[in-house]
Amino acid sequence: TLRTEERQRLARERREEREKQHAAKETQILEKERKAKLQYEKQLEERQRKLKEQKQKEEQRRAAVEEKRKQKIEEEKERYEAVMHRTMERNQRLETRQKRWSWGGSVTPDSESKTASKRSTSTANLKQTEAVMNKQLSSSAALLNASDRTRRSQLSPLDSSVISRLLAPTQASLARSKSAATLSAD
């Protein structure tokens, strides 16, 4: 009977030891599962936070690109308006300059007959003053040529050709003289 009691006691102790080990393993498994679950939740939160940050950065980048595009469009619009303004000013200056130098100013339907008569009289005056101017210019050139021939004979051929070119009236100076004469005649 002592042996059987001893065996039973040993068997009970082994059983209790196994149950303790089994319980310890069970708690270890539960602890691992709990830690894994916490780790997974933490990773999920981290991933969501990163996605949220990335989304915010993307929205900020889009807003910056949109702002830049709007600014570029505004600058192009201002540049276009400035070009149009300069073109309009240039056209107005050209129109006023043309009106200033035209014989009758701007031509309107009711003033066409007046400007036509002015043109015919101014053309006649122009022809008369042109003849007078040509006579005066040719006589003054002849006087200059006569007095300068003696001086030019002493100069080299290159110098004399330069001087004769400088003394000869240009087309522009003749045109200015004619227009001044016609304006003073009017």
Instruction: Indicate the pLDDT class of residue 155, thresholds 50, 70 and 90.
Output: low
Contact 174, 121 (CB under 8 A): no
Residue 147 pLDDT > 90, yes or no?
no
Of 133, 122, 139, nearest to 177 by C-alpha is 133
What is the pLDDT, as a whole number, of residue 95? 84
Angle CA 146–148–151, to nearest 5: 130
pTM over 0.85: no
34: helix, strand or coil: helix
Report which secondary-structure segment, H or E, holds 57: helix 2-101
The sign of the CA dihedral 100, 101, 106, 112 is positive
Mean pLDDT of the chain: 78
Rounded to whole angstroms, the Cα distance separating 141 from 168 reads: 8
pLDDT for position 69: 96
